[in-house]
């Protein structure tokens, strides 16, 4: 199969796999995001419900205290003997007057208590009339500063509180059932068979709002004050009806007010709450649940985040979990899956490239070897036919033909030996016999067999450093002979006709390693040749036909042989005149 077709099929398969992974990842991320949002919203709603319970429970004591306060305490002084009687007539100066607890002390979260008469007069137990005020100062029931502060707040309260406005907004009868309960039954009937998570959360919050309203109403039931009064007073008491405390917004002020009917006359009693302080305390009580929460005025209606005790709704803000890191297990698993797919794609691509490269190298090798074999075989056939048929009667020519046949035989033998060594290296059977030897003597012996080939190319092989001794190495003698034969053969191919016509073979040692240097004075190597110098089968079939004999295997094989011996083969880049190759070997300790 052609390489382009193989890569096209690989690209198509990879595109299909990546598209499937992308679609699956997008779906998983969308579902994970939806699940995270649902969990975050559920946690937010749960914390909001718990925060509402805390705040309503926090306010229950204040509301119960104000709802249970007797109506006659809204006057600064009242006749003690006429308690639970006609308390709204002006007390006489000579009677026994009892001071209202509100005159002596105002609750922490209340700015001012007030009372609206049927005539529209706004009074406060913290601001007694002139004569009674002097008595309060004289008896040290209140300080001048406290009375001045009460008068200032009463003047401010008159600017946004009127009898008509309050009376119209207060219920006239007993407390009614929370409106949300009916809405819940309607919602239950209209709920679809499979409600969503959001609708379930809303329904749950609405149910808890009804339960909080009921808890607040039960806590704010006014106790039967007549049980605490003397029996005679209870019998003689006029008809008194006290309504429940209702929280209202009057401008920017939050007040608690109730309707009180005494002998047919309607009064409005209540208190002005210190909302900024109360708001800070409420938010502090839920800071561990909702650190970014805030409170705002509620417009009424069926709001599940509204406090049952005050016309205030909770804005929960964001949870700390919602701002956490996005490295969820699903996302980490997807990242691992993508990394695995990409690594697998890279591995398959590398494997395909290696297989195709190996296939191409085998094809080039077969083509180059075929070309290398064709020329010697043609020469063998031609010369043997001529010699066999007696077509060369001249003895001199006959000896020349025989010499040519011997040279071609040596060429074939050298090619076969390279292929055999390469096969051994590929199978891991190279360098089976290693012996310690004097490197200079071994190089001299190999050079003696290489001199005829160099002479045939018109070159002189000069061995330098041989006979000096002292450099010993442990290696395979046949591997050393094959490497030197390849290097000298390359010099004979490419440096023939060079000036001077010399091939230097130098033996020595440097930095504790043995060194063999083979240098010629030929044209040298181009930059492109240097890059592919030690690659297997670096010469294609066309290059083998157009250039000097060879299949581009000698240098790659020589380097691998030397590395198998613990050494190396490299090109000496410092040499500009010709080419020089350096063989390095470890020195034997013997």
Are residue 157 and residue 201 in the same domain, yes or no? yes
Residue 252 counted as domain residue: yes
Q: Which of 480, 488, 419, 478 is nearest to 453 (CA)?
A: 488
Question: What is the pLDDT at residue 202?
Answer: 66
Return the pLDDT at 363.
76
Domain contains 8? no
What's the length of the chain?
Answer: 590
Task: Identify the pLDDT of residue 226.
Answer: 38
Cα–Cα distance for residue pair 80/571, rounded to 1 Å: 122
**311 and 378 belong to one structural domain:** no
In a domain, 4, yes or no: no
Pair of tokens at residue 55: 């705040």
Domain count, the chain: 2
| Domain-embedded: residue 550 | yes
Provide the pLDDT for residue 198.
62
Do residues 240 and 360 both lie within one domain? Answer: no
Give pLDDT, residue 225.
39
**Do 304 and 361 lie in a common domain?**
no
Residues 477 and 576 in one domain: yes
CB 537 within 8 A of CB 553: yes
Are residues 317 and 393 part of one domain?
A: no
pLDDT values of the chain reduced to their tens digit, one per residue, 590 residues:
678 888 889 899 999 999 999 999 999 999 988 888 888 888 888 899 899 999 988 888 888 888 888 888 888 887 766 555 555 555 554 457 788 888 888 788 899 999 988 888 889 998 888 788 888 888 888 888 888 998 999 999 888 887 667 777 887 655 555 544 444 444 444 445 545 666 666 666 667 777 777 776 666 554 443 344 443 343 444 577 888 888 988 888 899 999 888 877 888 999 999 999 999 999 999 998 899 899 999 876 667 788 888 999 999 987 655 455 567 788 889 999 999 999 999 999 999 888 888 787 777 777 767 766 777 788 788 888 888 888 878 888 888 888 878 877 877 787 777 777 777 766 666 555 778 888 888 888 888 888 888 888 888 888 887 555 578 888 888 888 888 888 888 888 888 888 888 999 888 888 778 889 999 988 888 877 777 787 766 654 445 444 555 566 778 888 888 888 888 999 888 887 888 999 998 887 76
DSSP string, 411-434: HHHHHHHHHHHHHHHHHT------
Q: Last residue of a domain, which of 303, 323, 343?
A: 323
Instruction: Find, among 67, 15, 476, 528, the residue nearest to 269 by Cα.
Output: 67
**Same domain membership, residue 312 and residue 370:** no
Does residue 330 belong to any structural domain of this protein?
Answer: no
One-letter-per-residue 3-state SS of 65-113: HHHCCCHHHHCCEEEHHHCCCCCCCCCCCCCCEEECHHHHCCCCCEEEE
Structure-block tokens of residue 384: 């043997």
The reply to whether 314 and 379 lie within a common domain is no
User: What is the residue whose two structure tokens read 């398959």?
Assistant: 348
Residue 11 inside a domain? The answer is no
Q: Is residue 16 part of a domain?
A: no
Residue 545 counted as domain residue: yes
Q: What pLDDT is recorded for position 556? A: 82
Q: How far apart are CA 251 and CA 156, in angstroms?
A: 12
SS3 337: helix
Answer yes or no: do 311 and 360 share one domain: no
Asked if 579 and 498 count as a contact pair (C-beta separation under 8 A), the reply is no
**Is the same domain home to 211 and 296?**
yes
Let me know whether 153 and 295 are in one domain: yes
> For 405-442, b where at least 16 C-beta lie within 10 A, e where not — what string?
beebeebbebbebbeebbebbeeeebbeebeebbbbeb
Pull the structure tokens for residue 306.
Answer: 């509204």
Supply the CATH number for residue 480's domain: 3.30.565.10
Single out the residue of 345, 340, 275 nearest to residue 312, CA to CA.
Answer: 275
Please check whether residues 294 and 402 belong to one and the same domain: no
412: containing domain: 356-586
Q: Which of 321, 320, 315 is nearest to 293 (CA)?
A: 315
């Amino acid at each position: 199969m052609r390489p382009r077709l193989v890569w096209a099929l690989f690209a198509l398969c990879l595109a299909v796999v990546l598209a499937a992974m992308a679609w699956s990842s997008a779906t998983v991320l969308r579902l994970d995001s939806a699940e995270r949002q649902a969990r975050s919203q559920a946690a937010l709603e749960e914390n909001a419900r718990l925060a509402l319970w805390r705040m309503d429970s926090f306010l229950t004591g204040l509301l119960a205290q104000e709802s249970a306060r007797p109506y006659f305490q809204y006057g600064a002084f009242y006749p003690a003997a006429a308690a639970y009687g006609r308390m709204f007539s002006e007390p006489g100066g000579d009677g026994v007057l009892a001071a209202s607890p509100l005159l002596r002390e105002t609750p922490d979260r209340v700015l001012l208590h007030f009372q609206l008469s049927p005539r529209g007069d706004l009074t406060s137990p913290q601001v007694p009339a002139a004569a009674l005020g002097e008595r309060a100062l004289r008896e040290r029931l209140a300080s001048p500063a406290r009375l001045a502060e009460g008068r200032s707040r009463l003047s401010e309260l008159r600017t946004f509180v009127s009898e008509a406005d309050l009376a119209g907004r207060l219920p006239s009868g007993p407390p009614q059932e929370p409106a949300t309960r009916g809405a819940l039954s309607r919602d239950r009937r209209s709920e679809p068979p499979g409600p969503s998570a959001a609708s379930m959360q809303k329904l749950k919050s609405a149910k808890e709002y009804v339960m909080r309203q009921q808890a607040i109403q039960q806590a704010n039931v006014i106790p039967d004050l007549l049980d605490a009064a003397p029996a005679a007073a209870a019998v003689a008491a006029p008809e008194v009806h006290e309504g429940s405390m209702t929280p209202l917004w009057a401008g920017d002020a939050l007040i608690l007010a109730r309707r009180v009917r005494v002998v047919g006359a309607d009064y409005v009693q209540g208190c002005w709450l210190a909302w900024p302080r109360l708001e800070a305390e409420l938010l502090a009580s839920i800071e561990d649940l909702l650190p970014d929460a805030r409170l705002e005025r509620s417009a009424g209606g069926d709001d599940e985040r509204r406090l049952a005790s005050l016309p205030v709704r909770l804005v929960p803000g964001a949870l700390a979990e919602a701002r956490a890191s996005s490295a969820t297990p699903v996302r980490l698993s997807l990242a691992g899956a993508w990394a695995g797919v990409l690594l697998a794609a890279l591995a398959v691509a590398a494997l395909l490239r290696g297989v195709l490269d190996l296939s191409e190298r085998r094809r080039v090798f077969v083509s180059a070897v075929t070309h290398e074999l064709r020329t010697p075989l043609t020469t063998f056939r031609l010369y043997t036919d001529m010699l066999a048929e007696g077509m060369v009667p001249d003895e001199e020519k006959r000896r020349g033909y025989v010499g040519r046949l011997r040279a071609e035989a040596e060429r074939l033998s050298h090619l076969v030996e390279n292929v055999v060594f390469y096969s051994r290296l590929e199978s891991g059977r190279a360098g089976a016999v290693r012996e310690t030897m004097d490197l200079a003597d071994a190089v001299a012996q190999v050079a003696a067999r290489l001199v005829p080939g160099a002479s045939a190319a018109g070159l002189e092989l000069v061995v330098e450093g041989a006979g000096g001794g002292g450099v010993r190495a442990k290696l395979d003698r046949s591997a050393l002979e094959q490497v030197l034969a390849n290097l000298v053969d390359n010099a004979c191919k490419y440096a023939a006709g060079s000036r001077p016509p010399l091939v230097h073979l130098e033996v020595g040692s440097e930095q504790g390693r043995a060194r063999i240097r083979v240098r010629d004075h030929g044209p040298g190597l181009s930059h492109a040749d240097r890059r592919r110098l030690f690659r297997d089968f670096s010469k294609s079939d066309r290059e083998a036909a157009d250039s000097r004999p060879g299949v581009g295997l000698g240098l790659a094989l020589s380097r691998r042989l030397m590395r198998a011996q613990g050494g190396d083969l490299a090109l000496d880049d410092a040499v500009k005149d010709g080419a020089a190759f350096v063989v390095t070997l470890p020195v034997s300790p013997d």
